[in-house]
Amino acid sequence: MYLELVSKKIQILDLQGNKIGELELPYFFSYPVRKDLIRRVFISEFTKSLQPKGRDPMAGKRTSALSFGINLGLARVPRVKQSGEAALAPNTVGGRLTFPPTVEKRIVEEVNEKEKRLAVISALAATTLPELVKARGHRFSAQELPIVVSDDLEKVDKAKVLVNEIFPKLGVYEDIERVKDRVRIRAGKGKMRGRRYKRAKGPLIIVSDIKAPIVKAGSNIEGVDIVAANLVSVIHLAPGGHPGRLTIYTKSSIDILSKRLQGRVVS
């Protein structure tokens, strides 16, 4: 069964937030939002970044401990001679793990290429729905979604220009402030393992070229991600598997997405 998808017109804005034209969005921006499919593909993409984890086969076994035997009024766990300290067994201090992690464990969720493609299309469609974007916690004052800006945005090479001049004009500065206020220290041992801070996700900017000056300019802005249209995936569009990220497109990126995702969408 083929879906009858329709395209809609959206305003093209300049860097001052003024309307300079109209653009007819490709049909896939009206595709139904499949939260189940987006979640499944997100898990698949996320698990591909995980490193297999294992244990030393001799962990917890480097001891001469042996059981003293029966009829001594003691548990029959292996014990170190002379000291009588229990060792080796899984239920003892310093003993081996009962079921340690193995590198053979299958940790990658495999999905079909067609599922990946439809998940990206569905996540793109979610960026056009204000109710979903607000449900993710984003704050914005833009008149309509998605926000499409002229290609001059890709030429911006200063972070302070982007934050102080352009974002307020486009109506997404509130989201930048929200992200700054949400940075907090993680509870637990993760603080010692390279993930000390928990950070919120802010606006996503999709550009036509990964080498555009704005990519470097926006790389250090808290919560902001900038990705090329030919590389954008569910990881960028639906962080955590939740669709509806506040997204800014450049005009050229819409053309690249149209070429990348052209073809009829099957339900």
Where do the domains of the chain lie?
A: 9-52+112-260
Helix, strand and coil percent figures for the chain, each rounded to 5: 35, 15, 55
Strand partners, 13: 19, 149
Give 215-234 pLDDT, tens digit per residue.
999 999 999 999 999 999 99
> At a CB cut-off of 8 Å and minimum separation 6, what does 188 contact?
none
Give 9-46 pLDDT, tens digit per residue.
899 999 999 999 999 999 999 999 999 999 999 999 99
Give 122-149 pLDDT, tens digit per residue.
999 999 999 999 999 999 999 899 999 9
2 band by pLDDT with thresholds 50, 70 and 90: very low
Region 9-52+112-260: CATH code: 3.40.1370.10
Query: Across the chain, how many H-helices and E-strands are there?
Result: 9, 8
Is the per-residue pLDDT at 4 higher than 90? Answer: no
Q: What is the pTM of this model?
A: 0.85
- According to the model, what pLDDT value does residue 182 have? 93
Mean pLDDT of the chain: 93
Give 239-250 pLDDT, tens digit per residue.
999 999 999 999
Tell me the C-alpha to C-alpha distance, in Å, between residue 115 and each of 16, 26, 39, 40, 162.
38, 19, 11, 9, 35
What's the gap between Cα 25 and its chain centre? 25
> At a CB cut-off of 8 Å and minimum separation 6, what does 134 contact?
244
262 band by pLDDT with thresholds 50, 70 and 90: confident
- According to the model, what pLDDT value does residue 6 have? 72
200 band by pLDDT with thresholds 50, 70 and 90: very high
